[in-house]
Amino acid sequence: MSTKHTRILQELDPETVEGYTEAQKRYYLNGGYRPYLDENGKVKWLTLTQYSMRGDISYKAPRIRLLPPKKLTNQRRRRPHRTMIVKFVREYWLTIMLVLLSVMTVMVFITRPEFVMAIGDLF
């Protein structure tokens, strides 16, 4: 649908419209269209909803309403991408935990050899 609309001046009688054949007039009238005269002197065939939309478009908002900027909602939203380290941790968290537990266990046995002796006495 065109974004440049002219103002509609008046509704015309379908019988007095010139430049259209009788078949074209019947076709438009059967489709729910009515002839209207626009400000350029052309005949526009519009439905009632199109006519009412033209009336809404011709209304200009006061400049004071334009002061607070409107949020642009039609901008394309991009999905936030995670860094490589975050992806790696999310994928291999269980393996990382097991490796850390093993390393901590080995560190405890190296720094505290009495724990190794105590475990040996149990068996």
Its pTM stands at 0.43
Q: What is the pLDDT at residue 115?
A: 81
Whole-number Å distance between alpha carbons of 34 and 49: 11
Is 57 in contact with 5 (CB distance < 8 Å)?
yes
Tell me how crowded residue 14 is: count the other CB atoms within 10 A of its CB: 16
Q: What is the pLDDT at residue 26?
A: 92
Alpha helices in the chain (DSSP H): 22-30, 48-58, 84-91, 93-111, 113-122
Is 70 in contact with 44 (CB distance < 8 Å)?
no
Q: Which residue numbers in the chain have pLDDT < 50?
A: none
Q: What is the pLDDT at residue 52?
A: 76
Q: How far is CA 31 from CA 19, 27, 63, 89, in A?
A: 19, 6, 39, 63
Whole-number Å distance between alpha carbons of 106 and 110: 6
Q: What is the pLDDT at residue 106?
A: 92
